[in-house]
Amino acid sequence: MSSGETETKQMQVISDAGSGRSFVVVFDDPAYSDFAKAIAAAIADRARAVVVQSDRITGDSWRDLSSALANLLVELRIKQGSFVGLAAGAALVQNLALENPKLVRTLVIVDASLRAHPSKFERVLDSVESRLPFGLPLRLGSKSFNIRAYAHRLRCPMLLVSTERASGFVTRELRDLGLVAPTAWYVALSDSDAQGSEASELADLVLTFHDTPAKCPQKNLKEAV
């Protein structure tokens, strides 16, 4: 294992570089590995950036993985940080904000649906739920974490971002979440053929969004970022 790369049960710290305020990038899908590293590399020039890969997030594993992430933050001596959840990794950082709000300064949610890795059945449920009040999910036959039920309790500033990787389904869910979460904003990254450029753009957004007031009273994206 290379220097700076450590493992814990269910969690792997891919990199930990830079100093100062802490930013933690969390993902479970290997397809996002290079993107996560590129984001962290851009952040590490100006702050501490940690990249964490979890085991696959499922309806059976998300609670244990959430606990593992919280324990890992203690090991890393992070008392408060800004978190970037890539795709399904959003479930872990959103749950962290719900259960340990003092740990989370801001959330940046990238290419994430309301559930982690939703099945076809769960997508049908989500389509039906979209016609119901946002805090009343059906959750029939699913043990998955679903932010729909808890969005009203997320009080930290939350930036919702879609990249070129995001499907139409994911983009719609991000937009829906942005409409109802108390302090959330939605943005789409500009088209880019270069992953490095996209990662750099996202890193700039993450760093700028960190300075958003913790209790931002107006959902005004121009003021927030």
User: Which CATH number does the domain housing residue 93 bear?
Assistant: 3.40.50.1820
Task: Say if 224 falls within a structural domain.
Answer: no
- The boundaries of the domain holding residue 51 are 6-217
pLDDT tens-digit series, residues 55-79: 999 989 999 999 999 999 999 999 9
Q: Is residue 41 one of the residues assigned to a domain? A: yes
* Structural domain total, the chain: 1
- CB count, 10 Å around CB of 147? 26
Residue 223 counted as domain residue:
no
pLDDT score at 123: 75
CA atoms of 97 and 118, how far apart (whole Å) = 21
Distance CA 49, CA 161 (A): 19
pLDDT tens string 3-61 = 344 455 699 999 999 999 999 999 999 999 999 999 999 999 999 999 999 999 998 99
How far is the C-alpha of 11 from the C-alpha of 17, rounded, in Å? 17
Q: What's the confidence (pLDDT) of residue 44?
A: 97
Q: Tokens for 187?
A: 């943005």
Span 104-146, pLDDT tens digits: 999 999 999 998 888 777 777 766 766 666 555 555 555 778 8
Tokens 């805090």 belong to which residue?
Answer: 135
Q: 108 near 205, Cβ under 8 Å?
A: yes
Domain assignment present for 10: yes
Whether the Cβ atoms of residue 181 and residue 108 lie closer than 8 Å to each other: no
Residue 214: which pLDDT band, with cuts at 50, 70 and 90?
Answer: low
pTM: 0.85
Task: Identify whether 225 is part of a domain.
Answer: no
